[in-house]
Structure 1
Amino acid sequence: MNILNQLIVSIVQMMPKNIVGFFSRKYIAGETLEDGIKVVKQLNAKGIYATMDVLGEAVKNKEESIDAKNKAMEVLNAIEKYKLMANLSIKPTQMGLLIDEEFAYQQILDLVKRAHEINNFVRIDMEDSSTTDMTINLYKRIYQQYKNVGVVIQAYLKRSFDDVVVLNKLGTNYRLCKGIYVEPASIAIKDRQAIRENYLKILKQMFIDGNYVGIATHDKYLIDEAYKMIREMNIPKDKFEFQMLLGVREDLRDKINSDGYKIRVYVPFGKDWYAYSVRRLKENPSIAGHIVKSFLTFGKR
């Protein structure tokens, strides 16, 4: 991130919370489950799928983690009740991974079991590198009992291709993304094009081995290359989908949808929206710049 981008993000972080909320609400469904349901219904009406996520991570105690699991369970029940074209995404640390691995395993197992009962699916998100091994091991354990669970692979980590070679043998369902956490150069690729190349290398191996892939990116270059790979390898439409964040590159989202490919949008909601907003701004300073510009324009009205 260059100096200007750092400055912009710093300015946004100093703004009143309600101002940041006003301009970042495009990227967050709201604070309540009802808000999330409303946004998912709007997406579904366009033929777009969703994955719902109750915001929050790295809980401090088991009580908070149990509360997070209960809210995630409410999401699954709502998906069933309203017949939404959606599934559930969860963060392992929100389920207590850093408190007690066995406890987190049971928490997530309960959710996957419930999802199985209603013919749905749970995506276990990947967080920073300190939790990568724990998350993969947790996924493997749950997959032994239920197949309606998937994991995330981050293309900027140097280890990811090797992880995929092993996970492919299980028939893993993936979300493949570039990666968003700040990691040291010793374990993470830093060059933008090199990350892209690794992304495509990993995607090709997933396709070769017949795995289902959520191609999660807003990078038009990667989307175009994925289109090309799908055509050249004759990948069936039931072996992949594209995935994007709520409010980001809606032009590309709509093009993918109109091209006849399945597209799923990540729909976050919850009271922890501010921490999510600031993290997304750090990842994508252009959004922060938009907020600053909007704030200045708004002040002149």
Structure 2
Amino acid sequence: MAFSALLRPALLAAARSPRMERTVTRIPVTRSLVDRFVAGETEDQAIAATTSILDSGRYISIDHLGEDTTDSAQADATVSHYLALLSDLAALSQKTASTSPASVRNVEVSLKLSALGQFLPRDGHKVALENAHKICTAAEEAGAWVTVDAEDHTTTDSTLSIVRELRKDFPSLGTVLQAYLKRTEADCRDLSGPGSRIRLCKGAYKEPASVAFQGKEAVDEAYLRCLRILMNGQGYPMVASHDPAMIEAALQQAKAKGRTADEFEIQMLYGIRDAEQLRLIGEDKHLRVYLPYGEQWYGYFMRRLAERPANLTFFLRSLMSHN
């Protein structure tokens, strides 16, 4: 078994370990590495990075980092961050709207429902729904899209239920499906109707074999099956991958189904494969950058290390060079 395959489960477990968080965040070199994947801790820093990305012809999806909130005040603070962000994004959205087709919004925010109170001991589902509704309302006023992120499999039923409720008032609302979950093919069929926006990713959490495919080959095959369902559907597929094979498959499937460049998009993470992002833009493909910011960067950072051996190697080399 490859070294990276052995480390990935450990890194994903560490992503939710308070003890490991204290250790990693105290290492001086960590901050400089985090800057590669996270666009700062404040709205101003996020807006500055967003402006640069939009100027390059790419679209943006901004995530205020945070998850697993069990405190209502923290959930309220997350809502406030999004409302402030969307107030700033309104001007950017209007300024750059003419560069994107009428059917596509070049500015989007991504939400984790667990950061909005989904796990609160009483009425968590209701609180998260209400908080998400506030953000969606502000996004509509700002001319921005909203996509609800996926988290670990224990949240999927609640998350999709909230998504269905929100779509009654906000039909353009998108959501994320994770191809490694065995249920996802059925969810793709259920959610690929007219007007839907589905971001398909492979999955970034440590999941048991009872609910998720294990191993790269099995996950890749699941991704391709789910991608085919979405491309055959009536919605707007959002292909979230850095894997050249998956991107090429998406482009080929879109061509075979007669989809124009305005009827799907590729999505990549901030700080990863910038040259490839710009190459796709140069070929008139729609590409959206997922840009995270905020103080609660630890879990996100650890999952990025676990996803790609190159990220982990870069981190370890940097640690060694600073010892």
* TM class, shorter-length: over 0.9
Give the 4+ runs in structure 1 shifted more than 4 A: 1-5, 7-15
State the SS of the aligned residue for 2:30: helix
Cα offset, 1:170, TM superposition: 5.8
Structure 2 counterparts to residues 15-34 of structure 1, below 5 A: 16-34=26-44
Aligned partners of 1:257 and 1:193: how far apart in 2?
29
CA 1:209–1:45: 2 relative to 1, 3 Å: same
Structure 2 counterpart of 1:66, from 69, 76, 93? 76
Cα offset, 1:298, TM superposition: 5.5
Q: Is residue 149–residue 176 contact of structure 2 (8 Å, CA) maintained in 1? A: yes
Gaps of at least 5 residues in structure 1 are none
Deviations 1:200-221 (A, max 9, x none): 2212221222210110000011
CA 1:297–1:69: 2 relative to 1, 3 Å: same
Structure 1 counterpart of 2:116, from 58, 70, 95? 95
Structure 2 counterparts to residues 1-301 of structure 1, below 5 A: 2-3=2-3, 6=7, 14=24, 16-83=26-93, 85-99=106-120, 100-169=124-193, 171-297=195-321
Q: CA RMSD in A?
A: 2.2
Cα offset, 1:6, TM superposition: 2.7
Deviations 1:34-61 (A, max 9, x none): 1111111111111011111111111121
Aligned partners of 2:107 and 2:173: how far apart in 1?
14
Aligned length: 299
Aligned partners of 2:3 and 2:250: how far apart in 1?
33
State the SS of the aligned residue for 2:115: coil
Q: Is residue 89–residue 122 contact of structure 1 (8 Å, CA) maintained in 2? A: yes
Q: Is residue 115–residue 148 contact of structure 1 (8 Å, CA) maintained in 2? A: no
State the SS of the aligned residue for 1:94: helix
| Mean Cα deviation higher: 79-88 or 219-228 | 79-88
Aligned partners of 1:191 and 1:3: how far apart in 2?
13
State the SS of the aligned residue for 1:93: helix
State the SS of the aligned residue for 1:175: strand
Cα offset, 1:171, TM superposition: 3.4
Deviations 1:213-253 (A, max 9, x none): 11000001101111111222211222111100111122321
Aligned partners of 1:264 and 1:38: how far apart in 2?
16
User: Counterpart of 1:86 in structure 2: which amino acid?
Assistant: V
Cα offset, 1:182, TM superposition: 0.9
User: Counterpart of 2:229 in structure 1: which amino acid?
Assistant: Q
| Mean Cα deviation higher: 268-277 or 28-37 | 268-277
User: Counterpart of 1:77 in structure 2: which amino acid?
Assistant: S
Aligned partners of 2:282 and 2:276: how far apart in 1?
10
Q: Percent identical across equivalent pairs?
A: 27
Q: Is residue 172–residue 212 contact of structure 1 (8 Å, CA) maintained in 2? A: yes
TM value normalised by structure 2: 0.86
Aligned partners of 1:252 and 1:87: how far apart in 2?
21
| Mean Cα deviation higher: 101-110 or 184-193 | 184-193
Aligned partners of 2:202 and 2:288: how far apart in 1?
17
Gaps of at least 5 residues in structure 2 are 15-19, 97-105
Cα offset, 1:284, TM superposition: 2.9
